[in-house]
Structure 1
Amino acid sequence: MNSPAANSPLRLLIAASGTGGHLFPAIAVAEQLPDYKIEWLGVPNRLETQLVPAQYPLRTIPVEGFQQRLGLGTLKILFRLIRSIGQVRHLLKQGNFQGVLTTGGYIAGPSIIAARSLGLPVILHESNALPGKVTRWFSPWCTAVALGFESAAQYLPKAHNVYVGTPVRSQFRAAANQPLEDLPIPADVPLIVVVGGSQGAVAVNRMVRQSAPAWLAAGAWIVHLTGDSDPETQSLQHPHYFALPFYDNMAGLFQRATLAISRAGAGSLTELAITGTPSILIPYPFAAEDHQAHNAAIFAAARAAQVYRQADLTSELLEAKVLELLRSPNLLQEMATKTESLAVADSAEQLAALVRQLVEQKHQ
């Protein structure tokens, strides 16, 4: 592979696909590398096709995850993986890239193998406390593995690991986030923010709607982000209850919140930590290898959040626990302080510096 000209920018391929949990950290790091020529590698019909093209050139390849059981479907996926490795290898050579950053998921496998076959440095970021299968399988191939949680290191080869936290969206990094101008919430009322997540929101939504009348009667206001797949979204009506499928200014919403009720995806937990928001966490029970429960356990151990398994939680219990917290301002403040202590505010800068170190050291 030819070396870049002395005055030309270094070229970095970012392989990140599928969900905000994979995409937002990668975008945050890319924003810290304005002098690099960055291109993006994703999968057709995934979220990156909406978020990335306005900022970076997007290339896509067809790749999917391995099934649990071996069979004809596995052989087809293996064939596509081999073909994808070839496609990424061709892209890296043709584009004269100097390194690869990936945030895990299906796209990481072919990207890591292709890059290493060409002698290029690869930095893999793993946001979860329990690394995913792709990270566990392919981390030995990587130049470095950047960790969102320190505890993830116990599952991976020690020589490659660097703890950097998880980068967050730029809105969470702003010195002063925009106020909630489109939500007429008084400044002196307790605000409960409910975030069901993109998967499995319906079960949490139902419990929240059953519990909400008691919270409203206690003087709380509620912003309930229901997702777009709940047929009962409008079943509760109250002037202090806002049911929205999504909300753009999440940084402002979490900053204003007295308490959040949330799933335990790594991205959501990182955002709660940055804003110092106390929370009740309900890990998504069908997450791969129950990884959300491992994430939530970190917050529970730090006394930053109360954690309940969905199978053990009823609307009556949720109602009571929220009322207890609303009546305990000192406990909420203690949880907020503990939550903020888990944040790595400069995670994007740290990960960008690691990318620079490994890519530039290779091409000095």
Structure 2
Amino acid sequence: MVEEAPIRLLIAASGTGGHLFPAIALAQKLPEYEIEWLGVPNRLETQLVPRHYPLHTIAVEGFQQGFGISSFRILGKLIGSILDVRRILKQGNFQGLFTTGGYIAGPAVIAARSLGIPVVFHESNALPGKVTRFFGPWCDAVAVGFDVAAQYLPRAKNVYVGTPVRSQFLDPGINVSLDLPIPDGVPLIVVFGGSQGAVAINQLVRQSAPAWFAAGAYVVHLTGDKDPEADSLKHPQYIALPFYDNMAALLRRANLAISRSGAGSLTELAVCGTPAILIPYPFAAEDHQTYNAKVFTKAGAALAFQQSELTTEILQNQVLELLHSPSELAKMGEKAKAIAIPDSADKLAQLLREVVER
């Protein structure tokens, strides 16, 4: 009896953790598939992917401004990248394409559809991006991370699956004791700005933190690696790090998080049941982080403030008010958990199998 060759899947996911981590979580749920990756040079995938999957890279970029001379150069790159992806798909004999959006999704979807290869698109944001809205109807299925996203994709075949998280967030046996000098029982505030960091939030937090220290709270501040003042605050109750690997344990220990509202960060907060103050990134495409934050504020899982309206005094006092109301924090945490779909990666993997194997 001849054993069937495994299905070969190309994953197109590039740029930030918000695009990469859900794709990695999906890939881990498809051990029976042969998976290769499509990315862009000098982006995060070149650090995370090659140790697990073969990585192909193409040169592509987005149309950030209006049409101009540079648009011809970008258009030329786009055409070249479509041809590159077609070659990769044909030579690799791939039977399916999965993408999480961003610049790379356009050439990947066009190339796959031109070859009759099934495509599943995952959109993690409450307001789908322009690429998703344009290419969604071309795909066999669009998996959405928030159910409200479907209303912006009326011509696409939408399936609500949530957004997959890294496996560390789903391990019930994970060690919740941190390798950080934080005493048991003290209030813990965790501050993070997504995979890129957030300098504006960092400044507000450093100005507000002394009042939180006086209330007995500890602060773990993940500053990212682009903040020139990252080491400017020194206090025994303050721990500043560029990044921290064990985010699942950190968020489970936290009494409160202060965060941007990227879809990946929100998914992690929800799975861990961590109440949050959200500060949407004001320059996100089409202000999509504000739409994400509204899902959490409407559910009662978080408070949200526009960065332009947030002062040190407002942030300082809002955090103190929440710290002095443990019951309110507990309610917010429960409502955050109610948003989570812990088996999102399983649901997405099953959807992809149905599309590719039918």
The reply to whether TM is greater than 0.5 is yes
Report the counterpart of residue 312 of structure 2 in structure 1.
315
The correspondence of residues 47-58 of structure 1 with structure 2, limited to 5 A, is: 47-58=44-55
Report the counterpart of residue 294 of structure 1 in structure 2.
291
Q: Distance in 2 between matches of 1:123 and 1:44?
A: 23
Select which of 230, 233, 238 maps to 2:235.
238
The 10-residue stretch of structure 1 (134-143 or 265-274) with the greater mean CA deviation from structure 2 = 134-143
TM-score by length of 1: 0.96
Displacement of 1:200 in angstroms is 6.2
Q: Which amino acid aligns with 2:89?
A: L
Aligned residues: 357
Q: Distance in 2 between matches of 1:323 and 1:58?
A: 47
Report the counterpart of residue 127 of structure 1 in structure 2.
124
Question: Considering only aligned residues, what root-mean-square deviation do their CA atoms show, in Å?
Answer: 1.1
Q: Distance in 2 between matches of 1:67 and 1:147?
A: 24
- Asked if structure 2 preserves the Cα contact closer than 8 Å seen for 1:67 and 1:73, the reply is no
Q: Which amino acid aligns with 2:148?
A: S
Q: Distance in 1 between matches of 2:110 and 2:174?
A: 40
Q: Distance in 2 between matches of 1:54 and 1:84?
A: 24
Select which of 184, 188, 210 maps to 2:185.
188
Report the counterpart of residue 224 of structure 2 in structure 1.
227
Q: Which amino acid aligns with 1:239?
A: P
* Partner SS state of residue 97, structure 2: strand
Q: Distance in 2 between matches of 1:335 and 1:181?
A: 23
Report the counterpart of residue 92 of structure 1 in structure 2.
89
Report the counterpart of residue 74 of structure 1 in structure 2.
71
| CA deviation string 1:131-167 (max 9, x = no partner) | 1111111111101000001111111134510000000
| CA deviation string 1:246-291 (max 9, x = no partner) | 1000000000000000000000000000000000000011111111
Q: Distance in 2 between matches of 1:159 and 1:214?
A: 49
Q: Distance in 2 between matches of 1:200 and 1:47?
A: 14
Q: Distance in 1 between matches of 2:203 and 2:194?
A: 14
Displacement of 1:176 in angstroms is 2.0
TM-score by length of 2: 0.98
Displacement of 1:122 in angstroms is 0.1
Structure 1: 4+ residue segments shifted above 3 A:
none
Identify if the C-alpha distance between structure 1 residues 288 and 109 changes in structure 2 by more than 3 Å, giving closer, same or farther: same
Q: Distance in 1 between matches of 2:43 and 2:177?
A: 29
| CA deviation string 1:216-238 (max 9, x = no partner) | 10011110111111111122111
| CA deviation string 1:168-208 (max 9, x = no partner) | 01111112222344202112111000012344611111111
Q: Which amino acid aligns with 2:21?
A: F
Q: Which amino acid aligns with 1:154?
A: Q
Report the counterpart of residue 340 of structure 2 in structure 1.
343
Q: Distance in 1 between matches of 2:249 and 2:195?
A: 20
Displacement of 1:333 in angstroms is 0.7
